[in-house]
Amino acid sequence: MQKLAVAPLFLATLVLAGCSASNSSGDNSSASSATASAAGAGTPAPAATAVTGTVKLQDAAASVTPQATLELSLVDVTQQPGATVNKQDFNPPKFPQAFHIPFSASAINANDLYVLQATMQDNGRTYTTKLQQPVLTRGQPANVDLTLVAEPTAAEKVLEDFNQAKRQTGGMTVKSGTASKIGESRSWQVFSDLHGVEFIIEQVNQADKGFTKTEYAYRDSLPWVVVQEQMPKAGAPASSTVQAGWGNDGVLVLKQKINGGSTSTLSDADAKVLHDQAEAEFKRFSKKH
């Protein structure tokens, strides 16, 4: 009987002890949470001391030469002209390229607007971001990821403008002609507008020596672009193509030779030959049209 009486008493003691322990644990947890909250509320987040992140190429398959140079600049654009706070260079960059641009707190004005500018130069091509990336102030982050986009080269711009201008020849006055001599036949089309001769397309068939098609384009009565194709015969795919183009300042910017699927640089001497041909053709046809 004593064992039966003692057991309930023993169990009651354990239950009371467990409840006490549970209440004690809960109080400690609440107290710890409150202490942590109070500490967090009283401790401001540390101010940024650097702009960090990564840079990648939009075209992940694009190759970068060992001569490539990437420049990242932290710029205060509220100042005019923009004031560079600090910058970091990579030569060559390795994408994705991590960066870390430190600065002193005294160099940052909370009321100014700061951007991170990124520019890469490689093999005559410029890579930039589509938009400038704001950082640091006015709620902007200190850690950002940038994507570089390839811009057309000067040569590509000239060739693109040439192809666009050629599509507009449909609205011009066109005059055609032919001439022949032993072993050679020649035909041409001259496109003119109110400003005079703008385009000349000339085709020369030399029988066993092949077929040549040359397109001359002019701006302000000066040679602008010359594209010359060599073919084994009329209507056949071009076996070789040379392209030369000059900027508004007369500087040669497009100088390309395509032969058998490979592309190389057209020599300045060969480009001058095309330039002289374009001048001669312009003088010849501008008198007649």
Q: Which pair of tokens denotes residue 65?
A: 């030469």
**How many percent of the chain have pLDDT more than 70?**
83
- As a whole number of angstroms, the distance between CA 114 and CA 82 comes to 9
Distance (Å) of CA 141 to CA 47, 49, 52, 87, 88: 11, 12, 10, 17, 18
- As a whole number of angstroms, the distance between CA 120 and CA 112 comes to 26
Question: Which of residues 74 and 62 earns the better pLDDT score?
Answer: 74
Q: What is the pLDDT of residues 175-192, one digit of tens each?
A: 999 999 988 999 999 999
Q: What is the pLDDT of residues 84-113, one digit of tens each?
A: 999 999 999 999 999 999 999 999 999 999
SS3 22: helix
Please compute the mean of the pLDDT values over residues 272-284 and round it to a whole number.
96
Local structure of residue 46 (DSSP, 8 states): P
- Evaluate the omega torsion of the peptide bond into residue 96 and state whether it is cis, within 30 degrees of 0: yes
**What pLDDT is stored for residue 288 in this prediction?**
58
- As a whole number of angstroms, the distance between CA 122 and CA 64 comes to 7
Please compute the mean of the pLDDT values over residues 152-173 and round it to a whole number.
92
Local structure of residue 270 (DSSP, 8 states): H
**What pLDDT is stored for residue 129 in this prediction?**
95
Mean pLDDT of the chain, nearest integer:
85
Strand partners, 180: 185
Lowest mean pLDDT of 38-47, 139-148, 214-223, 236-245, name the range: 38-47
Q: What is the pLDDT of residues 110-159, one digit of tens each?
A: 999 999 999 999 988 999 999 999 999 999 999 999 999 999 998 999 99
The answer for residues whose C-beta is within 8 angstroms of residue 280's C-beta and 6 or more apart is none
pLDDT surpassing 80 at residue 284? yes
- As a whole number of angstroms, the distance between CA 15 and CA 10 comes to 9
Q: What is the DSSP string of 47-99?
A: PP-EEEEEEEESSTT----TT-EEEEEEEESSSSS-EEEEEEEESS--SSEEE
Measured CA angle at 206 (ends 201, 211), to 5 deg: 50
What is the band of 17 on the pLDDT scale with cuts at 50, 70, 90?
very low
Torsion 228-231-235-237 (CA) sign: negative
Tell me phi and psi for residue 101, to 5 degrees: -115, 100
**What pLDDT is stored for residue 46 in this prediction?**
61
**What pLDDT is stored for residue 211 in this prediction?**
95
- CA 169 distance to own-chain centroid: 31
**What pLDDT is stored for residue 60 in this prediction?**
87
Q: Which pair of tokens denotes residue 226?
A: 């010359």
Distance (Å) of CA 4 to CA 13, 14, 40: 15, 16, 55
